[in-house]
């Protein structure tokens, strides 16, 4: 640039100042090039800072106030010329925005020089200096108001859409992700990705460009100048206002409604269940992607200004975070209903898993209120889990009905409870953590029947039983007590035992064939195998004991003789057939749902009944004709195969004559 060009561009400067100003101008001109790399931009920013430092040092050497007045006139003219044009500067030309930024910086420098200037006797008086200071501050205020408007406008206009397929992604090292990662983010794989170890902490997280990367250097330059000019409050207020709106939009896209605690507690469970699912997904994405990205953006713009970066992030995000935490708190203080336990556990695990990320985002005193609130809400969720499980046990114990279920099959309560506690094994680590110490402290009293109480060896090894195991075994014991009470609803003692056999067998099989086995232990399984087998034997005694007694020889002899009375023998067979037909009619309507158990009981019964029948018939067949034998042993054996199918049948076999 020729000397004449210097004079036309910088008429208010002389000598070395003109050289420094020209260098700063060149640096800004180069900085306006959109094709520059981030590294090149950083170098130019550093160069500008060094030149400003040199300029400040030179300004301290003493400048005549009349020279400052000339400079102020020139700066004021430039600022007011732009003020007359209401179009946004950075919308016009990038170099025009930088020129305005340069003029605003010069206005700030002039106010600084005037405040620190000491007048000699032969210079202008204090009134003139005060007037210049007033003018300089007015120009600076005008420039700062315009920069605040431009700053806000650029933040709004450069916002990236929240649809993942429209976002450009960066890792924490600012490496661009591959195309497949970008395209997959919008589907359900995002939730799976957020659960992987590689994405478990913010240091390994992906961040997104919430504003277009090209405008970040300009935003940073404006922020630095406004802070240097003591307009930091206006700058941060503009920033937090815009970014709060962006976070609100983010939560709207993630389908998170603004609900009060009262709203949540009034919501029907079906709708609430759906909201919890959305909260779980939203919380993971919001913390690990959006908040991580929001903090990264704050650091890009305000990072050179010290702790203000974190202050801004906390200020703009705390409302959104509290909105999400309020939903959790509402769940924790609502009524403890067993059907809610799994969703509460889901929320607990998500919040506990995200807690290190939240602490990393809100580290230091500025974010302590958020982290403390997270810890408190997590603690209340834990209390809610324990209280809900106790309510689950109470619900089992108090679940009664005046009517037994038809056929003595597996009660719906048994299925519900066993499937419920089986599902709880998915939360073993969390439940062991939450239950640890609480059962010993009296918060939970296990209701154990004598049969389910630990034996001495189990007591000795109690330390090896997990806290969750004691709770689940206790719930099983409560269920057994309920089943024993329900069995009394059946008038037929045989059916009472069949009902208990069915249900205890179901419990044992559910434990044996699932993740419950290591929790309940093999001793529990052996004990309950013995219990349902005992009920099977009790069923056989109650159902067939009196019938089998008919096959005894006592009472069928002629009076005063050892010879067999044909009349009494015929009556025995007739009584047996009537009793068998009644059992057939009744017990074909009874139910044994498990095919193997049903077959075992049929075989066991057949061995006892058919063998006794064959023996009795064979021993006394010489005293009877075929017409008195209504059913053969093979007939009876086949009829026994119809038992326990749940559909009552009647025998219509003709009498044999």
C-alpha 199: how far from chain center: 15
Task: Provide the pLDDT confidence category of residue 136 given band limits of 50, 70 and 90.
Answer: confident
Give the Å distances, CA to CA, from 186 to 164, 165, 254, 547, 556. Answer: 6, 7, 11, 71, 86
Alpha helices in 589-646 (DSSP H): 595-620, 633-640
Of 16 and 460, the one with more pLDDT: 16
Question: What does the alpha-carbon distance between residue 117 and residue 106 come to, in Å, rounded to a whole number?
Answer: 16
Q: In this structure, which long-range contacts are made by residues 498-501, counting pairs with CB atoms below 8 Å and at least 24 apart in sequence? A: 498/408, 498/535, 498/539, 498/590, 498/592, 498/644, 499/404, 499/408, 499/409, 499/411, 500/532, 500/535, 501/532, 501/535, 501/536, 501/539, 501/597, 501/601
Task: Provide the pLDDT confidence category of residue 444 given band limits of 50, 70 and 90.
Answer: very low
Highest mean pLDDT of the ranges 69-78, 146-155, 168-177: 146-155
From 509, 505, 269, select the one nearest 408 (Cα to Cα): 505
Q: Please classify residue 284 by burial: count the beta carbons closer than 10 Å to its beta carbon, then call 0-12 exposed, 13-18 middle and 19+ buried.
A: buried
- Provide the pLDDT for residue 462: 46
Quick check: helix, strand or coil at residue 657? coil
- Provide the pLDDT for residue 79: 76
Residue with structure tokens 């992030």? Answer: 313
Quick check: helix, strand or coil at residue 124? coil
Of 365 and 116, the one with more pLDDT: 365
The mean pLDDT value for 201-226 works out to 80
Residue 602 pLDDT > 60: yes
> pLDDT tens digits, residue range 288-303?
999 999 999 999 999 8
pTM score of the predicted model: 0.75
Question: What does the alpha-carbon distance between residue 358 and residue 313 come to, in Å, rounded to a whole number?
Answer: 12
Question: What does the alpha-carbon distance between residue 315 and residue 630 come to, in Å, rounded to a whole number?
Answer: 92
- Provide the pLDDT for residue 101: 82
Of 265 and 414, the one with more pLDDT: 414
Maximum separation of any 2 CA atoms in the chain, in Å: 160
Q: Are 256 and 325 contacting, i.e. CB atoms less than 8 angstroms apart?
A: no
Kind and range of the H or E run holding 106: helix 94-116
- Provide the pLDDT for residue 185: 30
Task: Provide the pLDDT confidence category of residue 439 given band limits of 50, 70 and 90.
Answer: low
Give the Å distances, CA to CA, from 275 to 259, 284, 424, 638. Answer: 11, 14, 21, 57
Of 7 and 197, the one with more pLDDT: 7
- Provide the pLDDT for residue 460: 45
Task: Provide the pLDDT confidence category of residue 628 given band limits of 50, 70 and 90.
Answer: confident
């Amino acid at each position: 640039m020729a000397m004449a060009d210097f004079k036309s561009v910088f008429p208010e400067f002389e000598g070395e100042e003109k050289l420094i100003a020209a260098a700063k101008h060149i640096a800004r001109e180069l900085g306006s090039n959109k094709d520059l790399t981030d590294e090149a931009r950083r170098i130019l920013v550093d160069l500008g800072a060094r030149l400003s430092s040199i300029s400040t040092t030179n300004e301290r050497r003493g400048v005549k106030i009349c020279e400052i007045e000339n400079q102020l006139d020139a700066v004021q003219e430039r600022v007011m010329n732009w003020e007359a044009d209401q179009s946004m500067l950075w919308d016009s030309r990038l170099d025009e925005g930088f020129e305005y930024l340069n003029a605003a910086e010069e206005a700030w420098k002039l106010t600084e020089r005037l405040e620190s200037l000491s007048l000699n006797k032969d210079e202008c008086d204090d009134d003139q200096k005060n007037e210049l200071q007033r003018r300089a501050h007015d120009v600076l205020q005008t420039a700062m108001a315009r920069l605040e408007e431009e700053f806000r406008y650029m933040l709004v206009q450069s916002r990236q859409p929240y649809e993942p397929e429209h976002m450009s992604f960066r890792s924490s090292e600012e490496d661009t992700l591959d195309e497949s990662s970008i395209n997959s983010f919008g589907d359900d794989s995002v939730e799976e990705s957020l659960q992987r170890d590689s994405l478990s902490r913010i240091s390994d997280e992906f961040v997104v460009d919430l504003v277009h990367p090209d405008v970040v250097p300009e935003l940073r330059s404006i922020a630095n100048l406004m802070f240097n000019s003591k307009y930091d409050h206006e700058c941060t207020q503009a920033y937090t206002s815009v970014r709060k709106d962006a976070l609100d939009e983010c939560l709207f896209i993630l389908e998170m409604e603004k609900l009060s605690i009262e709203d949540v507690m009034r919501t029907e469970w079906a709708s609430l269940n759906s909201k919890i699912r959305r909260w779980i997904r939203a919380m993971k994405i919001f913390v690990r992607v959006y908040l991580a990205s929001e903090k990264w953006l704050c650091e890009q713009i305000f990072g050179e200004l010290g702790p203000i970066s974190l202050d801004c992030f906390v200020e703009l995000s705390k409302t959104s975070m509290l909105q999400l935490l309020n939903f959790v708190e509402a769940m924790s203080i609502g009524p403890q209903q067993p059907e809610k336990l799994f969703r509460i556990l889901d929320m607990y695990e998500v919040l506990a898993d995200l807690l290190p990320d939240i602490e990393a985002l809100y580290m230091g005193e500025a974010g302590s209120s958020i982290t403390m609130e997270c810890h408190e809400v997590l603690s209340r969720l834990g209390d809610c889990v324990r209280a809900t499980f106790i309510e689950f046990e109470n619900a089992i114990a108090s679940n009664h009905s005046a009517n037994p279920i038809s056929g003595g099959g597996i009660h719906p309560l048994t299925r519900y409870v066993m499937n419920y506690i089986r599902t709880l094994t998915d939360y073993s680590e969390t439940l062991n953590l939450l239950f640890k110490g609480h059962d010993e402290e009296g918060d939970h009293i296990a209701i154990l029947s004598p049969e389910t109480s630990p034996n001495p060896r189990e007591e000795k090894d109690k330390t090896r039983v997990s806290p969750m195991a004691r709770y689940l075994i206790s719930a099983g014991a409560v269920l057994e007590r309920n089943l024993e009470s329900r069995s009394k609803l059946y008038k037929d003692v045989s059916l009472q035992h069949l009902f208990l056999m069915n249900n205890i067998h179901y419990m044992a099989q559910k434990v044996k064939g699932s993740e419950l086995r290591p929790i309940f232990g093999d001793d529990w399984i052996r004990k309950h195998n013995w219990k349902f087998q005992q009920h099977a034997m009790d069923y056989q005694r109650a159902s067939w004991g009196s019938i089998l007694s008919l096959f005894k020889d006592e009472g069928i002899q002629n009076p005063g003789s050892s010879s067999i009375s044909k009349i009494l023998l015929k009556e025995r067979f007739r009584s047996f057939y009537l009793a068998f037909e009644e059992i057939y009619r009744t017990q074909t309507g009874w139910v044994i749902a498990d095919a193997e158990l049903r077959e075992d009981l049929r075989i066991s019964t057949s061995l006892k009944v058919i063998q006794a029948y064959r023996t009795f018939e064979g021993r006394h067949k010489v005293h009877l004709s075929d017409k008195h034998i209504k059913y053969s042993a093979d007939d009876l054996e086949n009829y026994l195969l119809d038992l326990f199918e749940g559909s009552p049948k009647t025998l219509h076999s003709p009498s044999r004559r």
